[in-house]
Structure 1
Amino acid sequence: MRRLILLLILLLAGGIAAWLRYGLPPRVTIALASQGTALEAVYATGAVEPVHWARIGPATRARLTEVLVEEGERVTEGQAMARLDDRQARSMATEAEARARFAVEDLARTRTLVARDITARTSLERAERDAQAARASADAAMQRLDDYVVRAPTSGIVLRRDAEVGEVVDTPASLFWVGEPRPLRLTAEVDEEDIARIAVGQRALLRADAFPGRAMTAEVAQITPKGDTVRKAYRVRLTLPDDTPLLVGMTVEANIVLRETPDAVLVPPGAVVLPPATRDASPTAPPATPPGATRRAHLWVVEKEVARRREVEIGVQAPRSIEIRRGLTAGEAVVLDPPEGLTDGTPVRLETRPQP
């Protein structure tokens, strides 16, 4: 009798468990579709630089003997900024000048001899050629001496100095950066897949690690007609406002705005069931943006505690929200992370997730 009672208790417990598992409607978490701004943008990175600037290097390989300017100092066009060791070049110029003087003196003697019919006229012609060649060689040697003086090609502020006395520098080296601190621009690279959507005058939202949380803007001013075939990118220059806090050389992330919808319908990413091709695509740099065309997907809407499948068109996909361009209105309840096996018309038990 005791075994029979125990068996009945076990059967009753199993029935209750089965009823709790299969008899109750599935529990789902819901969130309300909200209304906000949807921003479709193209992501790019770049560096801040002056609009007017020049990188200055030596015209020949030599050792630095003197640096004449400091960072922050204003220079004028043609001003000497540094000197190189020109001892060997100066010796060669002195030697060339001496040869030129000797050739001139020889030419004078030859003219005297020709005038007295002591030597042939052909000697005079040869002496004239030698004198001209010697003078040209001396002038070139003296001109080469100027290569040992690093001069400013334009007027401006010395933005940066990378020159130290005693080091040997060569022509690829950059010893100084000279330019005007204002106005500034952002030179960024845009992937060739996105460049066709970029146009002069578009607004860009900027983010820099030096100014976290600070909103900054720029405007597309120029698009380089020829792209880089190796990097598969195009150079885009953006004008910065005069009051920008950004400094020359800072690295900046830019989102060039293609479309801005201030009253878009937004839902959390977990509410949208994307097509397989979209779901498996690798993520893009934040904020993620889709191609220009809208795409189809579906989600689950809860109406009177019943789940209804809803076909929608999605727009901008961002890390924290997805734009619904058609098929849903703000305020409707959507299912987050829909459970497997959910079918249209299934009763559900509701659980609300707080909005972030």
Structure 2
Amino acid sequence: MRPNRKQLIVLAVAVLVGLAVTAVILWRRPPEVEVATVKLQTVELALSVVGRARPMDLVQVASPNPGQVVRLMHDDGDRVAAGEPLAVILAAVEQAQTQADLARERAARAEAADARLKYERTRTLSERGFAAPAALDAARTTLQAAEANVAAAAAAVRASAERAREFTIRAPMSGVVLVRPIDNGQVVAAGETLFELGSATGVEIRAEVEEAYADALRPGMSARAALSGASTIFAARVTEVSPQVDAATGGRLVKLAPEAGPSLSPGRSIDVTIVVGQRPGAVVLPRSAVADATAAPKVYVVDADDVVRERAVVVARWPTVNALIERGLTAGDRVILDPASARVGARVRPVAPKTED
């Protein structure tokens, strides 16, 4: 039996009413929000920095005299023994001084020769009675002064000649050439650095830490280290925390000693995580869950009636990936992960965060 027109109309009305009721129910249904349930846990308080491997001992090898570099025996990365030649310097400036001293010596010898001739002439005249004894004494004094000038000029020539010779720069200790900032033919000044040597054995890690965080570091603290870009982790330990603050960077130097691990080349970048301590009973949240984190930190929690409430919190000032909540939350609190997804006083349907496949 086919339905008549009246039955079709009734059926259509029933469907429309059902759809309307469903729409109203869905419209009035509270929105879903992702929440994290607070669980107290023990958190490792650590500080991550990037350091560099440096030899235990560093020596700047400088030229004692000005001159020209005429020969270089070693380059960056070379290993050298104590006393081994590093470079040869020709004291070009001192050579000019030697020439001037030689000229003064020749002049002094000429004056001395003239003084001797005058003395001999005066002595002969004195013996024949034609010159007074006083004249002979004066000639003798002039000759002695001229001979003293010759001795002084000769000594100056020897001294300047010693300075003007080619002199060899030698390694003051066994180690590795870290830096050689000079080239063949370059003219260097007295005291200018020619080489930087690092000890061949014993390497430390040096890192700069912001002074606000360096106050929490102490010698003896353990650390985890890895060559930058590598996955192998080796142990290290803090040996020194410098009390001096670098005025330019606002950081303090921290030194660490590797306890094991790969061979560290000087200058190699190393990722270091210093373990400051353990904090039991800690509350950790994603930083995105904290609103107004810098001015007035707060989070949105869902109460027992599924209503959104605002809660002020205190966030630890420590460079962690997640926010470490010091006060304001307790175990079991349901915290909205995205504060922008809800408003205070609204009723919501809390759900667990979605996991990525």
Indicate which of 114, 131, 146 corresponds to 2:151: 131
Q: Does 1:121 align with 2:141?
A: yes
Return 5+ residue gaps in structure 2 as ranges: 1-5, 124-135
Deviation at 1:348, TM superposition (A): 1.9
The yes-or-no answer on 1:84 pairing with 2:89 is yes
Contact 1:203–1:220 (Cα < 8 Å) also in 2 = no
1:159 aligns with 2:144: no
What TM-score does the superposition give when structure 2 sets the normalisation length?
0.69
Residue 337 (structure 1) shift? 0.9
Cα contact 2:42–2:278 (8 A) shared by 1: no
TM-superposed CA distance for 1:39, in Å, is 1.4
Q: CA-to-partner distance for each residue in 1:143-189, whole Å, 9 max, x for gaps?
A: 3435x42222x211233464887453534875433232332223333
5 Å-filtered alignment, 1:52-91, equals: 52-58=57-63, 59-67=65-73, 71-77=77-83, 79-85=84-90
Is the contact made by 1:65 and 1:85 (CA closer than 8 Å) also made in structure 2? no
Corresponding residue for 2:285? 267
Answer whether contact 2:95 2:160 (CA < 8 A) is retained: no
Per-residue Cα deviation, 1:25-63 (whole angstroms, up to 9, x for no partner): 22011233342424153x654432112121334453424
Shift of 1:315: 2.2
Determine the structure 1 residue equivalent to 2:253: 236
- Structure 1 counterpart of 2:231, from 199, 212, 225: 212
Deviation at 1:223, TM superposition (A): 1.0
Deviations 1:171-226 (A, max 9, x none): 4875433232332223333345555555555555545414336254331414153x
**Deviates further, 181-190 or 164-173:** 164-173
Q: How does 1:24-63 map to 2 (within 5 A)?
A: 24-34=29-39, 35-39=41-45, 41=47, 44-58=49-63, 59-63=65-69
In the TM superposition, 1:1-356 aligns within 5 A as: 13=19, 16-21=22-27, 23-34=28-39, 35-39=41-45, 41=47, 44-58=49-63, 59-67=65-73, 71-77=77-83, 79-85=84-90, 93=98, 96=101, 117=136, 119-145=139-165, 148-152=167-171, 154-160=172-178, 162=180, 166-168=184-186, 170-171=188-189, 175-192=194-211, 194=213, 196-212=215-231, 214-223=233-242, 225=244, 227-229=245-247, 231-245=248-262, 246-254=264-272, 256=274, 258-275=276-293, 277=295, 297-301=298-302, 303=304, 307=308, 309-315=310-316, 320-330=321-331, 332-338=333-339, 339-343=341-345, 346-354=347-355
In the aligned structure 2, how far is the partner of 1:259 from the partner of 1:196? 14
CA distance in 1, matches of 2:219, 2:119: 75
- SS of residue paired to 1:273: coil
Query: Residue 277 of structure 1: SS of its match in structure 2?
Result: coil
1:299 and 1:312 in contact (8 A); partners too = no
User: If you compute each CA radius of gyration, which structure gives the higher value, 1 or 2?
Assistant: 2
Residue correspondences, number: 331
Are the aligned partners of 1:67 and 1:164 in contact in 2 as well (CA < 8 Å)?
A: no
Change over 3 Å in CA distance of 1:270–1:141 after alignment to 2 = same
Is contact 2:44-2:275 (8 Å) kept? no
Distance of aligned partners of 1:144 and 1:213 in 2 relative to their CA distance in 1, 3 Å threshold: same
| Alignment CA distance shift 1:243-1:10 (3 Å) | same
Change (3 A) 1:175 1:88: closer
- Residues 133, 3 of structure 1: CA spacing in aligned structure 2 closer, same or farther, 3 A cutoff? farther
Report the Cα distance in structure 2 between the residues aligned to 1:240 and 1:62, rounded to whole angstroms: 40
Percent identity at matched positions?
Answer: 21
Alpha carbons 1:203, 1:218 under 8 Å: kept:
yes
Letter in 2 for 1:121: T
Q: 1:326 corresponds to which letter in structure 2?
A: R
- The DSSP-based 3-state class of the residue aligned with 1:328 is coil
What is the aligned-residue RMSD (CA, Å)? Answer: 4.5
How far is 1:137 from its partner? Answer: 4.5
